[in-house]
Amino acid sequence: MKRWQFWLGVPISAIFLYFVVRKLDWAAFWFSLKTANYLWIIPGVAVYFVAVWARAWRWHYLLKPVKSIKTSVMFPITCIGYMGNNIYPARAGEVLRAVVLKRREGVPISASLATIIVERIFDGVVMLAFVFVNLTQLAKLAEVVVPVGKWEVTIQDLAIWGSVAFFGALLIFLLAAMFPKVTVRIGQWFIDRLLPKRIHAQTSGIMHKFLDGLESLRSPANVLMVFITSVIIWLLETVKYWFVMHAFSFEVSFFTLMLMNGVVNLATTIPAAPGYLGTFDAPGIAVLQADGIDKAISTGYTLVLHLALWVPITALGAYYMTREGIKWSDSLRKEN
């Protein structure tokens, strides 16, 4: 609660939530919730956990050059990380799972974080692919405004900015992986000139370990494998959107749900209150409204979908964290 990231995210979430409740027919909204068939959530949750297992396998694959760790070991740590993302601000769960992996397997945190950042970059690229394969549908969102702090941008703007950010980051990381010696020389130049001399050696060590975490990107075959796995992961998550949709009295195409998945996950990169409150919901509702779905039903569906994505993985992550005997305490933070 004391972290500045939390207090930055709260007003942004409040703005997004304002767009959610503005002009909402509350009677129709409650009716959509009362008449929903929640049994459809069960297969949705099941397929989502298959996607989480695939995420654990992808992380295992990226970490292979550093240390080969079984996917069965990575899965609980992945769940802990997603729990952390859901309840702590600023995606602190990414750091949390790197810390837990160090405690369990001795993998340097900087190397783990390198692979986690690579995961996020590939996730962003796939999300953008989901958006741009639906260009016709995206055009309907040209006038949908998303508040970002003091500014207002359209979802199309968000997609364009996201393209520049994610594809630019992917290019930088691929170049860093392919030319490690050049990257070290450039990094060392900045370290020697911009940082105090007393931390030169420590920072250089972190840089080398970070580059170790990028080693899997030196092979085009590995890059293709990670990309294909990322596509499978997000298609599985879209299948969950499809299952939950059947709990409600509307139907849209699978491609519309792919677009929704891409847009909401790009929007959740915007700082927000824990659990992506508002930043997940408002864009998702906007996508469905653009496809002609009533706002009350769109809101009910998006709320249930958000909870179905949040509650199971958070509960399982909390269970694994308790089983590991880990607490997000000062002693844990010091390991980072």
Instruction: Give yes or no for residue 1 having a pLDDT over 80.
Output: no
Q: Given this model, what pLDDT does residue 159 score?
A: 67
Distance CA 242, CA 44 (A): 8
Instruction: Give yes or no for residue 218 having a pLDDT over 90.
Output: no
Span 255-260, average pLDDT: 92
Q: What is the average pLDDT score of the chain? A: 85
Two tokens at 195? Answer: 């940082």
Instruction: Give yes or no for residue 125 having a pLDDT over 90.
Output: no
Q: How confident is the model at residue 18 (pLDDT cuts 50, 70, 90)?
A: confident
Distance CA 228, CA 222 (A): 10
Cα–Cα nearest to 270, from 25, 94, 23, 14:
14
Span 126-152, average pLDDT: 68
This prediction's pTM: 0.85
Least confident of 70-84, 105-119, 144-158, 161-175: 144-158
Contact partners, residue 138, CB within 8 Å, separation at least 6: 131, 132, 155, 156, 159, 259
Span 272-288, average pLDDT: 88
Q: Given this model, what pLDDT does residue 307 score?
A: 96
Instruction: Give yes or no for residue 75 having a pLDDT over 50.
Output: yes
Least confident of 25-29, 90-94, 242-246, 248-252: 90-94
Q: Given this model, what pLDDT does residue 331 score?
A: 43
Instruction: Give yes or no for residue 241 having a pLDDT over 90.
Output: yes
Long-range contacts of 167-175 (CB under 8 A, 24+ apart): 167/125, 167/128, 169/121, 169/124, 170/121, 170/122, 170/125, 173/117, 173/118, 173/121, 173/214, 173/217, 174/217, 174/223
Instruction: Give yes or no for residue 93 having a pLDDT over 60.
Output: yes
Distance CA 236, CA 44 (A): 9
44 residue type, one letter:
G
Give the H/E segment covering residue 152.
Answer: strand 151-154
Q: How confident is the model at residue 304 (pLDDT cuts 50, 70, 90)?
A: very high
Distance CA 117, CA 181 (A): 20
Higher pLDDT, 316 or 155: 316
Span 148-157, average pLDDT: 60
Instruction: Give yes or no for residue 38 having a pLDDT over 90.
Output: yes
Distance CA 18, CA 208 (A): 46
Pairing between β-strand 151-154 and β-strand 145-148 as defined by DSSP bridges:
antiparallel
Distance CA 96, CA 92 (A): 6
Distance CA 100, CA 77 (A): 7
Q: What percent of the chain has pLDDT over 70?
A: 87
- 156-166 tens-digit pLDDT: 666 677 777 77
Distance CA 146, CA 153 (A): 5
Give the H/E segment covering residue 109.
Answer: helix 109-132
